[in-house]
């Protein structure tokens, strides 16, 4: 009995968890026309930010500052939407939390 022939291993080896790529790209959550629309939105808002930065002098800058704020916000938010919907962050956070956001 001391040689171990009587006793066998009683536990099963642990199954390795499925390995997920960090920030793997997936296009499942923006099907059809939604992905190109978000990409065009990000591109146009970036062009707006770039065009606003070209202006050197202005006599009444209030409207220009508002345009800068809105175009920069639109660019950053459209990039955030693309990052969330086109990566594994969507599955990580869960659909319920994404809808709440």
* Residues 26 and 87: beta-carbon distance below 8 Å: yes
Judged on CB neighbours under 10 Å (0-12, 13-18, 19+), 68 is middle
Q: Is residue 71 in a domain?
A: yes
Q: Is residue 42 in a domain?
A: yes
Q: Is residue 67 in a domain?
A: yes
Of residues 13 and 35, more confidently modeled? 35
Q: Is residue 2 in a domain?
A: no
Q: Which helix (H) or strand (E) holds 80?
A: helix 62-86
Q: Is residue 94 in a domain?
A: yes
pLDDT tier, 44 (very low <50, low <70, confident <90, very high otherwise): very high
Of residues 4 and 40, more confidently modeled? 40
Q: Is residue 57 in a domain?
A: no
Is residue 46's pLDDT more than 90?
A: yes
Count CA atoms within 13 Å of residue 52 on its CB side.
18
Distances (CA, A) of 46 to 38, 39, 42, 82: 12, 11, 6, 14
CA distance 42 to 36: 10
Residues 6+ apart with CB under 8 A from 89: 23, 83
Segments forming the whole domain that contains residue 95: 33-52+63-99
The structural domain count of the chain equals 1
């Amino acid at each position: 009995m001391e040689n171990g022939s009587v006793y066998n291993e009683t536990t099963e080896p642990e199954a390795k968890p499925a390995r997920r790529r960090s920030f793997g790209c997936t296009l499942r959550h923006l099907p059809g026309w939604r992905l190109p629309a978000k990409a065009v939105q990000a591109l146009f808002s970036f062009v707006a930010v770039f065009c606003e930065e070209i202006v050197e002098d202005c006599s009444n800058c209030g409207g220009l500052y508002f345009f800068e704020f809105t175009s920069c916000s639109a660019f950053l938010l459209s990039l955030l939407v693309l990052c969330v919907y086109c990566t594994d962050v969507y599955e990580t956070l869960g659909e319920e939390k994404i809808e709440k956001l």
